[in-house]
């Protein structure tokens, strides 16, 4: 039986007194797999995970995905995507300024990620918090007429569009990377495949447009839904400590990284991404 405490009144738990570094904790990991469907977000502090153990834990949640930006798969294990401002031998070891917008991981592919496991290897003493928002709570708090209006709408998710905005100072995507990430269409309201609970499925920058509506109306609606989705009452702010492991459900949450003094402090984060199914 896991010992837990809530992170937010509506979603998220911290699991206490758990050491995931040894294989004999696999039964506890399997309980985390079950709990993430219910709570959407799980924090386990004070971990000392090897890269291989991180991957092994992640595989108990499902098959793992490999990020399209291969230059940031620098640990020797391609399942780990590195987020970092650190440079070694003149090359960045990870992607810096990734995720400084509200999004759910890999929503821009036909079968987006079910969940992610982000492990804090090295964190600044201040800044670099991550915000998480419950899309279940966001949808359920909408007026009934708005729920009805958006229930059957779709939206186009575009990695190329996001990359052009977020990384305009970098080399453009290669033809191979573009071929791996064509625009995709997903529902604006998606159904959780385990619980059946509904949630908003929107986001900043990666969601290019809402379809099926006049352009002006679609743009206004997307902006309004994005503003609503990240309201304070649906949001948990996480202040990282070294050794934190956070597991979240991309099917019903969004998250956003925040800036820090990146010329003063180092930050190294390792993320694994669990494969999911087509939203419906």
CA distance 131 to 200: 17
**Would residue 105 show up in a list of annotated catalytic residues for this protein?**
yes
105, 205, 244, 249: the active-site residue:
105
Catalytic residue among 67, 136, 238, 255: 255
Q: Which of 51, 116, 55, 122 is nearest to 85 (CA)?
A: 122
How far is 14 from 8, CA to CA, in rounded Å?
10
Residues with Cβ within 8 Å of residue 34, at least 6 apart in sequence: none
DSSP letter assigned to residue 79 = T
Provide the 3-class DSSP secondary structure of residue 95: strand
The Cα 223–Cα 209 span in angstroms is: 10
d(CA 160, CA 208): 10
**267 tagged catalytic:** no
Report angle CA 219, 222, 228 to the nearest 5 degrees: 140
Residue 65: how many other CB atoms lie within 10 Å? 21
**Which of 103, 136, 238, 251 is labelled catalytic?**
103
Q: Is 271 a catalytic residue?
A: yes
d(CA 39, CA 6): 9
CA distances to 102, 211, 212 from 216, rounded to whole Å, are: 22, 11, 12
Closest CA to 187 of 274, 110, 253: 110
Give CA–CA dist 174/186, Å, rounded: 25
Active-site amino acid positions? 103, 105, 255, 271
């Amino acid at each position: 039986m896991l010992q837990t405490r809530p992170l937010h009144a509506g979603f998220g738990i911290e699991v206490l007194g758990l050491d995931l570094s040894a294989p004999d904790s696999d039964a506890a990991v399997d309980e985390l797999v079950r709990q993430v469907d219910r709570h959407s977000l799980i924090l386990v502090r004070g971990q000392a995970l090897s890269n291989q153990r991180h991957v092994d834990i992640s595989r108990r949640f499902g098959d793992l995905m490999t990020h399209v930006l291969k230059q940031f798969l620098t640990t020797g294990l391609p399942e780990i995507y590195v987020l970092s401002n650190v440079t070694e031998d003149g090359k960045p070891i990870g992607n810096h300024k990734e995720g400084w917008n509200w999004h759910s991981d890999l929503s821009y592919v036909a079968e987006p990620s079910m969940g992610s496991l982000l492990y804090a290897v090295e964190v600044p003493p201040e800044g670099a918090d991550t915000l998480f928002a419950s899309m279940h709570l966001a949808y359920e708090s909408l007026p009934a007429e708005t729920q009805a209006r958006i229930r059957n709408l779709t939206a186009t998710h575009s990695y190329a569009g996001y990359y052009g905005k977020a990384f305009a100072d970098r080399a453009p995507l290669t033809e191979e990377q573009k071929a791996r990430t064509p625009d995709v269409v997903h529902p604006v309201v998606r159904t959780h495949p385990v619980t059946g609970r509904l949630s908003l499925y929107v986001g900043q920058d990666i969601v290019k447009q809402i379809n099926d509506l006049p352009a002006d109306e679609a743009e206004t609606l997307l902006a309004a839904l994005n503003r609503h989705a990240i309201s304070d009452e649906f949001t948990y702010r996480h202040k990282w400590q070294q050794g934190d492991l956070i597991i979240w459900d991309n099917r019903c949450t969004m998250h956003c990284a925040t800036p820090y003094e990146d010329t003063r402090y180092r930050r190294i984060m390792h993320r694994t991404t669990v494969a999911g199914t087509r939203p419906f």
